[in-house]
Amino acid sequence: MDLELEKIELIVNGKKVCKYVPPAMRLADFLREELHLIGTKKGCNAGECGTCSVLINGVLKKSCMIPVKKVNHCEILTIEGIGKDGLDIIQRCFMKVGAVQCGYCTPGMIMAATAILKKNRHPDQVEIRKGLGGNICRCTGYAKIIEAIELARDILNHEKSADCLEAVTPETNKIIGSRIERVDARGKVMGALEYAADMTMPRMLNVHLVRSREVHAQIQKIDYEKALEMPGVEAVITSEDVPGIDGFGVYYHDQPVLAKEKIRFYGEPVAAIVAETLEEAQEAEKCIEITYKKLPIVSNIAEAIDCKSIVHEDYPDNVVSTTSVIKGDVESGFHSSDVIIEQEYSTQSVDHAYLETEAGLAYCDPDGVLVVKSCDQDITHHRMLLAKILGMPINKIRVIMTPVGGGFGGKEDMIYQGILAIAALKTKRPVKLVFSRQDSMIGSSKRHPVLIRHKIGLSKDGRIRAIEVNIKSDGGAYCFSTKGTVAKSAILGAGPYEIENVKVVSTGYYTNNTPSGAMRTFGILQPTFAIESTMDICSKRLGIDPIELRLINGVKDGAVTHTQQVLGSVSYCETLKECAKLASWEPGPSDVRGQVRKDVKGSQIAQPYIPGYEFKSPAALELCQARFKYGRGVGSGWYGIGRCATVDKAGAFVEIDDGGTAMILTGVTEIGEGILTVLTQIAADELGMYPQDITIGDNDTARAPEAAHAGASRQSYMIGNAVLNACRDVKEKFIREIAAYWNVDSSSICMKDRRIFVQGHSNYDLSLKEAVDICKKVRGYVPLGSGTYTAHHEALDPVNGKGNPWQAYVFGSQIAEVAVDTYTGEVHVLGIWASHDVGRAINPQGIEGQIEGGAVQSLGQAIMENFELSEGVPINRNFAKYILPTSVDVPKVYTNLVEDRDPFSPLGAKGIGEPAPLPTTPAIVNAIYDAVGVRITSLPATPEKILNEMAK
């Protein structure tokens, strides 16, 4: 036996385990690599995120931080040991209330929930929130996780019956609109679902990226000969190994697979080492010598405008793109205004912070087809890019989307798949690449930092006469999605208001910062924060209630947008009114009303979290609570559904198969938002089946028709309609064949409750299973259908931005209540009331989850999150320094859904994923002003900024 290995004896999930392992091996790696218990996830490897949570001798611990030798002879419980003879009560509660989205945090959350209820069978909500404090969720907003634990508590204490956990199957043809459980939840609560980092193959190699520690430099030489001699190293890949056209991107193909001739941002991959083990690849990096010649750094928008240095030679002014939207005559509008207000705003860089880092696996199949598996938001586009980069026929490339542990736009960009593909082709072996948390934070795109300047003119009665908005976005080192976010921010940046005179100019700039790209809201959150803050400034100046001011100016039925598009039915004002009603809003001008307004501190609102409250005396607690001032603020937003100013399309296939069930094939991208469940409901409702009768096929370019990317809140709208049309196609054909068999008119036949029949005629009544058998064996017909859906969006006029960029718009409004600690400047968000137009609610529970999760992400942007750079070098590269909202930070969220069905689509549903966060940030910032009278115009609204403003 190798003396370097240490004998480990454990009891894992009730079974004795004996292994010889390296003494430095961590428990998380032991569980995953030695025992193949993949439910224990690795999200940060630093003890911050909680995805690796397990119970050690009954105590909750982060397994990524514990050397396995430290737990020798201990008893370990992982997610695989929870409910191993069936689903545990806690797991069933997570499924029942909709506490599962992307699922990556779910095993760790369930372990934490188990520990909470093990410690105390009667925890209150404060204890539950505190017990979850070490576990991060980026999707759900924690609300439904807390609800699930409360439900489990009540069932375990026999205060509620476990019968409430039984799935309620709605009537067929009434499945749309039902709160059915997620179809993919079971595998997630069991920790059984394989994400990209969990996958292995025989003879698999591992890839380690050599990243630049320069920010802007010429690459003069890469010497890797010594690395090739290191143990286990199979290959070193550089830009010289790219066989085709070296360049990729969403809009411009300006980014090389590996840095070519020049470094443009800190952490840019320069080389890839392919070795038998990751440790061997990492060790070989020490033998690679790279010679650089430093170049001046463009670290912000001002330096980009001044052309301190040129980031891309093809763009000598450092401008990525500019979009202008001009309507009417703003100078004339300002001349006729009674009040003119000017204000500047700035927003920060924000990390997506999905708990699953970027990961993938590539190999060549026996027929010579290159297969790339990755957590990917756009397999169709990435396949096209790979064909170009590799110089291969596109039909020789197959891209398969693995389950995605959170995306939010950050996995739209193809930043590592090309490296994987080249490595697989060069070594002729399977290869795997998994980003560390630091890799993800320095190497993936961020939300754009933005500078915004407003000039707005109003009449005394509150009507906006003119608005001029200038938006400057830091696009970072490569275009990624900057061109699209710039355009969208110009189109929607003046807010959901009908204004005669508008001028919006939006420009994106190249800098040497970490690239900016697509992130939830796609460029709209920043200008929404600005315009909604400006509306509150106007409210104060004019002495008009902020909701009333929005109602005066808000778009209504038949309104003309800033791009001069005529709208049909508009629900904006309804969302505002419903939101105000939901929150019992007290009208009055936007001013310092926190101490006198009657609608704060309602009995249903959470209290500010006071650390160590359980150890304080009542008098001390009273003193702490006296420091808080309370306020409320409102925010609203609008969003165009689908791809912007270009034709959007999606396709789907459906087969009614031998069991009387149905199989759906479409290139859908499930990133946690619940689209698989939505499509299941659509198909079951249309075909007269139950959700359990529907199978959604793999998202695989070799099997599924194109449905394009997950983004722009387009999946329910585009793919949902494609699936509906495909179901209608197969249903018509199926009924046609049965009608011919029965010799009856097709129009008399119904499909419902798994049966096909003629109403009132018992002789014409078959189960779907029997009918499929007849269709195939008697009629000789396989019931197959196909469907597509196209949304016709017009390109904008390049001069004035005139056009119809979307055919469907959604609107939403939110009210936030905050408590501001006047001693520390800390902000506690206590409640959010949200009213959103969703078109048609396919699954209300899923929509609530999107609103709750979006609100908490936006809360992070409002008061804490900030990806900081100093001269292009990232400062906070892990979750220890990048502050994210946890369970103790989240408010109570109350939702109201407005269903203003889209008339241009057969389904009527629109979308909610991206619009959900838009109103939250301005609502919180406006509430801070209401509480303490300071206007924060630079995000995030940190305690330091608030105290500084209060001191003034």
Give the model confidence (pLDDT) of 871-922 as tens digits: 999 999 999 999 999 999 999 999 999 999 999 999 999 999 999 999 999 9
Instruction: Identify the CA nearest to 855 among candidates 398, 521, 363.
Output: 521
Q: 571 pLDDT exceeds 60?
A: yes
If 0-12 CB within 10 Å is exposed, 13-18 middle and 19+ buried, where does residue 827 land? buried
* pLDDT for res 548: 97
Could you tell me if 430 and 203 are in contact, meaning their C-beta atoms sit under 8 angstroms apart? yes
Q: Where does the pLDDT of residue 337 fall: very low under 50, low under 70, confident under 90, or very high at 90 and above?
A: very high
Tokens 């188990």 sit at which residue?
114
Strand-pair partners of 12: 15, 76
Give the model confidence (pLDDT) of 767-812 as tens digits.
999 999 999 999 999 999 999 999 988 899 999 999 999 999 999 9
Mean pLDDT in residue range 604-619: 81
- Mean pLDDT (the chain) is 96
Strand, coil or helix: 482: helix
Give the model confidence (pLDDT) of 87-96 as tens digits.
999 999 999 9
Could you tell me if 753 and 764 are in contact, meaning their C-beta atoms sit under 8 angstroms apart? no
> How far is 770 from 773, CA to CA, in rounded Å?
5
* pLDDT for res 463: 98
- The per-residue b/e assignment along 901-934, b for 16 or more CB within 10 angstroms, e otherwise, is ebeebebbbbbbbbbbbbbbbbbbbbbbbbbbeb
> How far is 453 from 945, CA to CA, in rounded Å?
20
* pLDDT for res 1: 38
Could you tell me if 483 and 517 are in contact, meaning their C-beta atoms sit under 8 angstroms apart? no
Radius of gyration of the chain (CA): 28
Mean pLDDT in residue range 707-726: 92
Mean pLDDT in residue range 553-574: 98
Q: 85 pLDDT exceeds 80?
A: no
Q: What is the pTM of this model?
A: 0.97
Q: 286 pLDDT exceeds 60?
A: yes
Amino acid in position 181 = E
Classify the phi-psi angles of 544: left when phi > 0, otherwise alpha if psi is within -120 to 50, otherwise beta.
beta
* pLDDT for res 592: 64
Could you tell me if 808 and 571 are in contact, meaning their C-beta atoms sit under 8 angstroms apart? no
Q: Where does the pLDDT of residue 596 fall: very low under 50, low under 70, confident under 90, or very high at 90 and above?
A: confident
| Phi and psi, residue 16, nearest 5° | -75, 135
* Residue 671 token pair: 């990133």
> How far is 745 from 837, CA to CA, in rounded Å?
40
Q: 698 pLDDT exceeds 90?
A: no
Residue 203, CB half-sphere, CA atoms under 13 Å: how many? Answer: 9
- Within 10 angstroms of residue 168's Cβ, the number of other Cβ atoms is 10
> How far is 166 from 160, CA to CA, in rounded Å?
13
Cα Dmax for the chain: 89
Q: Where does the pLDDT of residue 604 fall: very low under 50, low under 70, confident under 90, or very high at 90 and above?
A: low
> How far is 275 from 232, CA to CA, in rounded Å?
5
> How far is 121 from 689, CA to CA, in rounded Å?
41
Q: Are strands 319-327 and 339-347 parallel, antiparallel or unpaired?
A: unpaired
* Residue 107 token pair: 């095993």
* pLDDT for res 80: 97
Tokens 């696996």 sit at which residue?
361
Give the model confidence (pLDDT) of 24-59 as tens digits.
999 999 999 999 999 999 999 999 999 999 999 999
> How far is 460 from 313, CA to CA, in rounded Å?
50
Sign of CA dihedral 211, 213, 218, 221: negative
| Phi and psi, residue 758, nearest 5° | -105, 120
Q: Where does the pLDDT of residue 171 fall: very low under 50, low under 70, confident under 90, or very high at 90 and above?
A: confident
